[in-house]
Structure 1
Amino acid sequence: MKSGDDADAASTYPKTPLFQAQNAARYDRQDQIKRYEELTGSRLIVMIDQIFDYSVTLIEELVMGGDPEQPMHLLLSSPGGDGEVAVRLVRAMQARCSRLTIVVPDMAKSAGTIMCLGADELLMGPASDLGPVDPQFPVNGRLVGARDIEQAVASAEARVAASPDAFPLYAGLLADVNMLMVEQARSAKARSYDLIREALACARRSPEECDSLAEALRGPLVDDAVYHGASFGPERAKELGLPVRDAELDGEAWRLLWLLWTRYFQVGAWPAGPNGIYEGRFASQFLPRPASGD
């Protein structure tokens, strides 16, 4: 039976059969979240999306009322986005929990990796993947790394200098890139190391630990990374000192997380589809996006 305010709200605003049918998948996912929370004693929230300014409000919605004495788990999948926002997000979560665990069932690239650096623990399976810290920008409906923007412009300039007749071709190929975007890409790329250090400081680490770990990560995640999609798996992350815990693949907790992840995968959440999802036991936001190029 319901009691108190919940019972009053349920009787005053009952859910109709059609409304329940339309939201059945959402209720199913939130039930899985509840079961995981009961099993682990943590608060579980989910973010499957690009990382941009609007993410801050949506994460705040999920962590509202969080008990600072309770652990929080974030199930995260992201192709990346704005690293500055990533630091703000992990800072907001750390302020609402006693210990932050980020669960990576699939991938958390670029700005997603920055978020992971601010966790007290990373829970990863064999196929879980982080990646180089390369700020991304929306270009023609998709995300493009700062490194790729800079290299594309430099390559076009060199080829046009060698063959001026090729200018119309490269002007057309780079029609969606302007000099302001190029300068923003260069500035964001230069900030990458600082963002790594700031993210590491969000977790419960001493300044000396942050400095040491940031220096260890600088090469693999910034200086030596030549491809935005380069793999950075759990074993490599552990070698460099990140607090990775291997998922118990036959354990009940991972089974519940994987069941939950497959439900998001089925409804077209990143990276399988065009939808962003922010969800917890008490809040749920589903963000359909236009197709690439729209």
Structure 2
Amino acid sequence: MNGLDIFWFFFMAAALQPVFRQKMLEAARQRAIQRIEKMRNSRVILLVHRQETMSLLGFPVMKFIDINDSEQVIRAIHMTDSDVPIDLILHTPGGLVLASLQIARAVKNHKAKVTAFVPHYAMSGGTLIALAADEIVMDRHAVLGPVDPQLNNLPAASIVEVVKKKPINEVDDQSIIMADMAEKALKQMKASVLELLKGRYDDKKAEELSMIMTQGKWTHDHPITFEEAKELGLNVREDMPDEVYQLMSLYPQPVRREPAVEFLPIPRKSGTKG
């Protein structure tokens, strides 16, 4: 081999290394999913969104719940017998209302028990899906979020409120149209959440929760902690299986710089010496 051959050999090896690493990671994920399914006698479905980095150009791509996600999750539910429980692991900032509602309704209609696991966060559309489950298992430090509708990145409840506070002759036509759309969005979202909650909670609690979660009580990024979720009356538990944490560790955020957090990835027991 001459120098040029050696150069191309190392170039190809370096180019293929990420591919091999990804294949090994995917195989490890499949084994971890199989372990949880065997342990819990369930179907495991993950909805995990990270900020991906393109391998060649290096620019970030923000991930969120979209129609492709709803197609895949619904397909997984269809491939699951009606008497087989589903464990839905959520790690997402949210996404399209239509896609989130499609998933949530499929979850609601599954006859066997559906458990939503939230190891870190499931905001907005992720919370909408979690509300459709029979119960939600949250890490003690995990958070959910409100599901109030947003129009053009503005909260629908605030659009309605600001128009109400001004004399109608001082409001331009565009703002009146936006307020009308916002009011409809609030009603539609409340009705959808009420639909998901009925049968999971009594009628009074379902009505109360649908109002709180959809009508702009908080900012859209307000973190609903485990304790707050309990106080609201949501059906939440905190006994997250270790296997879920282990599975989530196989979905690392792509890192293109020195990590901001670092530690030895082994359990640290009391009484042990370093």
State TM-score, norm by structure 1.
Answer: 0.63
Q: Greater CA radius of gyration, 1 or 2? A: 2
> Given the alignment of the two structures, is residue 227 of structure 1 paired with residue 224 of structure 2, yes or no?
no
Give ranges in structure 1 of 5+ residues lacking alignment. 1-16, 162-176, 249-253, 269-294
Residue in 1 that maps onto 2:53: none
> Could you report, residue by residue, the CA deviation over 1:66-99 in whole angstroms, capped at 9, with x for unpaired residues?
0211110000122223434333212223444510
Distance, in Å, in 2 between the alignment partners of 1:134 and 1:199 is 15
CA RMSD of aligned residues (A): 3.5
Greater RCO, 1 or 2 (C-alpha within 8 Å, sep 6+): 1
Q: Does 1:262 align with 2:249?
A: yes
Structure 1 position 135, deviation (Å):
2.3
- Looking at structure 1, the residues matched to 96 and 223 of structure 2 have their Cα atoms a distance apart, in angstroms, of 20
Give the corresponding residue for 1:48: 48
C-alpha deviation, 1:123, in angstroms: 0.5
Tell me the percent identity. 28
- Per-residue Cα deviation, 1:88-146 (whole angstroms, up to 9, x for no partner): 21222344451000001111222222211111010011111111112246x6xxxx353
The match for 1:274 is none
On the 8 A contact 1:135/1:146 being kept in 2, the answer is yes
Q: Secondary structure at the match of 1:75?
A: strand
SS at structure 1 position matched to 2:144:
coil
For 1:183 and 1:30, how far apart are their aligned partners in 2?
47
8 Å Cα contact 1:68-1:96 kept in structure 2: yes
Q: Deviations over 1:155-181 (max 9, x none)?
A: xx99xx8xxxxxxxxxxxxxxx99987
Query: How many residues of Structure 1 are paired with residues of Structure 2 in the alignment?
Result: 221
Q: Distance in 1 between matches of 2:175 and 2:120?
A: 33
Task: Kindly provide the amino acid, as one letter, of the partner of residue 206 in structure 2.
Answer: A
Question: In structure 1, what is the Cα distance between the partners aligned to 2:187 and 2:109?
Answer: 28
- Aligned equivalent of 1:14: none
Q: Is the 8 A contact 1:66 1:96 kept in 2?
A: no
Corresponding residue SS for 1:266: coil
Q: Counterparts of 1:57-206 in structure 2 under 5 Å?
A: 57-96=71-110, 98-136=112-150, 144-147=153-156, 150=159, 184-201=181-198, 204-205=199-200
Q: Secondary structure at the match of 1:76?
A: strand
Residue aligned with 2:219, SS: coil
Q: Residues 236 and 135 of structure 1: is their aligned pair in 2 closer, same or farther, counting only changes over 3 Å?
A: same
1:236 equivalent to 2:228? Answer yes
Structure 1 pair 21/130, CA: closer, same or farther in 2 (3 Å)? closer
Asked if structure 1 preserves the Cα contact closer than 8 Å seen for 2:86 and 2:113, the reply is: yes
| Match in the other structure for 2:10 | none
**TM-score by structure 2 length?**
0.67
| Partner-residue secondary structure (3-state), 2:126 | helix
Flag structure 2 segments of 5+ consecutive residues without an equivalent.
Answer: 1-16, 50-63, 256-274
